[in-house]
Amino acid sequence: MLGSAMPDLPETLAQLGRLLGDPVSDARSLSGGCVADVRMLTLESGRRVVAKIGGPDLDIEGRMLDHLGERSDLPVPRVLHAEADVLVMEHIEHAGGSGWGRHLADLLAALHGITSLDGRFGYASPTLIGPIRLENGWASDWGGFYRDARVLPLIDEASRRGNLAHGLERRLRSYAERVGDDLDHAPPASLVHGDVWSGNVLASGKSVVALIDPSVVYADPEFELAFIALFSTGGREFFERYAEHRPIDDGFFERRVFIYQLFPLLVHVALFGGGYAAQLDSTLRRLE
């Protein structure tokens, strides 16, 4: 539709108005635009929608949101239009709040009860974590998938961007070769959101009204829990409530949480470098 990495905004808004059958009367910038230009669009009818403009791979984000909407009851924005360089979603009203960790636990415990149709791990098509494209495919061995589709590609990405010291890279690659042996339980292939931190949780009071910016995959549900623990999303009450629904296996808090935190830390090293490399090094030392 747009045909360029940085489309002309007035023309783009005019095209979106024609596409939606409701001209755009106002476009306000929103935070969270590290991947694209994010705008709140008010249409002439008074309806409001959110548009991400300028891509890349916004069609992938649209497909992930559709998948969550079709297979689960997780509250996510409804996709109105998706192409590689533009994504239009319904606007979810949210007033902000606190104390929503318990409700988040209810939602994610239900999500993690949904498994892949054949019990395999992965996803049928590429997905995203922030601006980083993730290749997937299917695997019967979760440890092998985690190594080959998550850890090793992000080591490559962080190294390519010049954010990973040679010594740390060498140690990470050495540990990656045995990471499957270190994952000592038999998890289900659960559907996970994949990028749950507070910035991707829209809340009103103690209720979560939507989760945005997913990085879906069928994975060990602890993969999601480790991400949440890394950023303290939802606070202590999240884990207390989650365990009421789905008991957490022994060994998670002692070791597996650190195995799974290698991935989001590698993402942050790739994107931001800096102090995240020291945190990654510290986490790796717990495992060596």
Point out the residues that are catalytic: 195
Dihedral sign of CA atoms 222, 228, 229, 230 in order: positive
Q: Yes or no: say if 259 and 220 are a contact pair by the CB < 8 Å rule.
A: no
Determine phi and psi for 137, rounding to 5 degrees: 85, -175
Report the alpha-carbon distance of residue 214 to residue 200 in Å, rounded. 8
Q: Which amino acid is located at 235 in the chain? A: G
DSSP structural state of residue 96: B
- How many CB atoms sit inside 10 A of residue 118's CB? 9
Q: Yes or no: say if 12 and 2 are a contact pair by the CB < 8 Å rule.
A: yes
Q: Yes or no: say if 130 and 157 are a contact pair by the CB < 8 Å rule.
A: no
In terms of phi and psi (left: phi > 0; alpha: psi -120 to 50; beta: otherwise), the region of 162 is left
- Residue 218: in which H helix or E strand, if any? strand 217-219
| Token output for 58 | 């916004």
Report the alpha-carbon distance of residue 47 to residue 39 in Å, rounded. 14
144: exposed, middle or buried (Cβ count in 10 Å: 0-12, 13-18, 19+): middle
